[in-house]
A and B are shown apart, each in its own frame.
Chain A
Amino acid sequence: MTARTRVVVTGLGTTNPLAGDTATTWDRMLAGESGVRPIEDPAFADLPVRIAGTAAVEPTEILDRIRARRLDRSSQFALIAAMEAWKDSGLDVPQQAGELDGDRVGVAMASGIGGVQTLLSNYDAMLAKGPRRVSPLAVPMLMANAPAATISLEIGARAAVNTPVSACASGNEAIALAADQIRLGRADVVLAGGTEAAIHPLPVAAFANMMALSKNTGDPTTVSRPWDTGRDGFVLGEGAGALVLESEEHALARGARIYAEVLGTGITADSHDIAQPDPEGRGGARAILRALADGDIDPANVAHVNAHATSTPQGDVAEALMLHATLGGHATDVVVTSTKSMTGHLLGGAGALEAVATVLALHHRLAPPTINLDDLDPQVDLDIATKQRDLPLGDIVGLNNSFGFGGANVAVAFGSNG
Chain B
Amino acid sequence: MGRDEGKQSGGAPSAMERIKQDSNFLRGSLVEEFGNRITASIPEEETKILKFHGSYMQDDRDVRQERKHKKLEPAYQFMIRVRLPGGVATPEQWLKMDELANTNGNGTMKLTTRQTFQLHGILKWNMKQTIQEMDQALMDSIAACGDVNRNVMSTANPYQSSVHSQVYDTANRVSEHLLPKTKAYHEIWLDEEMVLDGRDEDEPIYGPFYLPRKFKIGVAVPPSNDVDVFSQDLGFIGIVEDGELVGYNVSVGGGMGMTHGDTTTYPQLGRVIGFCKVDQATDVAEKVVTIQRDYGNRSERKNARFKYTIDKRGLDWLKNELNDRLGWSLEEARSYSFDHNGDRYGWVKGDGKWHLTLFVENGRIKDEENHQLMTGLREIANVHKGEFRLTASQNLIISGVEENEKETIEQLVEQYGLSDGRYNSALRRNSMACVAFPTCGLAMAESERYLPSLVDRLEDIIEDAGLRDEEIVIRMSGCPNGCSRPALSEIGFIGKAPGKYNMYLGGGFKGERLNKLYKENIGEDEILASLKPIIHSYAKERLEGEHFGDYVVRAGYIAPVESGLDFHN
Q: Are both chains from one complex?
A: no
Residues in A lying within 8 Å of B, measured CB to CB: none
